[in-house]
Amino acid sequence: MPGPLLTDRTAIVTGAARGLGEGIARAFAAHGCAVGLFSRDLASLESLAAEIRAEGGKALAVAVDVTDAAAVEAASARVAAELGPVDILVNNAAIAPSAPFLEMSDAMRDAVLDTNVRGPWHCTRAVLGGMVERGFGRVINISSVTGPLVSGKGMTAYGASKGALSGFTRSLALEVAEHGVTVNAILPGSFDTPMLRALAEPRGSTPDAYVRELGATIPVGRLGTIEEMGELAAFLASEHARYITGAEIVMDGGNVIQEHK
């Protein structure tokens, strides 16, 4: 088995309280990385941080709303002070309310854009300068196949936000490539997360049944796991991925390449 990929590194993972963010945080810690955990759900973060520390890792739970630029700056500074300079940022925090375009309020639209676009902007700005100065950094944006590649009814705001994140990823990658900083995006398809399971009831199903039914439509026959997402993110954060930047990596079990489903 290969050794830890991220020994002596420090990362911030946003939206780390559950789902993909939790999987990424756990994988980073398992690979020797100290992890700053960001979310508005402090209780869940503290529980996760305690588990990581109990397994010999380093973790700091910080309650922060990524739409608040000043709060992000303060939280990032705290991580740097307590865990070390931030080498890796995973912009994972996102919301995905669904509504037909003509029924979507400006408030709902703005909430999606604030979290999914301005959030990554605030977090990246808070740590990128230090990465450039030290000549090493990894920014990983958790985007989606929804928006950049496909979409669905009711997803105009979410799709627009993830399309914007694609442009942000590519443009920023060019700006910082010469400084040893890479910027990449992961485009997940369907993963077994609390967010996905919450869609079951509005669609007339139960969470377990919905996961089975949705998984049966995917070429590999199942949904992705948060552990698999964590391992891909750990690779992109490591020295092994130093020649990958500006990339959008689809992780969806082969779903988007199907002509018919």
Catalytic residues: 158
Name the burial class of residue 174, with classes exposed (0-12), middle (13-18) and buried (19+) by CB atoms within 10 angstroms of its CB: exposed
3-state secondary structure of 59: strand
- CA distances 137 to 7, 14, 89, 124, Å, are 14, 16, 8, 11
Helices in 116-251 by DSSP H: which ranges?
119-134, 156-176, 194-197, 207-216, 226-237
Q: Which residue has the tokens 């910080």?
A: 62
pLDDT of residue 2: 62
Q: 212 CB contacts (<8 Å, ≥6 apart)?
A: none
Q: How many CA within 13 A on the CB side of residue 258? A: 11
Q: pTM for the complete prediction?
A: 0.96
Q: Does 62 reside within a domain?
A: yes
Residue 19's CATH number:
3.40.50.720
Q: Does 78 reside within a domain?
A: yes
Res. 1: pLDDT tops 90: no
Amino acid residing at 22: E
DSSP letter string, 31-44: TT-EEEEEES-HHH
Give pLDDT tens digits for 7-48.
999 999 999 999 999 999 999 999 999 999 999 999 999 999
DSSP 150: B
Residue 58 near residue 86 (C-beta atoms within 8 A): no
Q: Does 158 reside within a domain?
A: yes
Q: Does 261 reside within a domain?
A: no
Give pLDDT tens digits for 81-124.
999 999 999 999 999 998 999 999 999 999 999 999 999 999 99
Res. 3: pLDDT tops 80: no
Which domain range does residue 105 map to? 10-189+224-252
Q: Does 55 reside within a domain?
A: yes
Residue 195 near residue 202 (C-beta atoms within 8 A): no
Q: Whose CA is closest to 141, among 196, 91, 200?
A: 91
Q: Does 214 reside within a domain?
A: no
Q: Does 115 reside within a domain?
A: yes
Q: Whose CA is closest to 209, among 219, 196, 225, 226?
A: 196
Sign for the CA dihedral angle at 160, 14, 239, 177 comes to positive
Give pLDDT tens digits for 111-120.
999 999 999 9
Average pLDDT, the chain: 96
Give pLDDT tens digits for 153-193.
999 999 999 999 999 999 999 999 999 999 999 999 999 99
Q: Does 260 reside within a domain?
A: no
CB count, 10 Å around CB of 43? 11
Res. 242: pLDDT tops 60: yes
Domains in the chain, number: 1
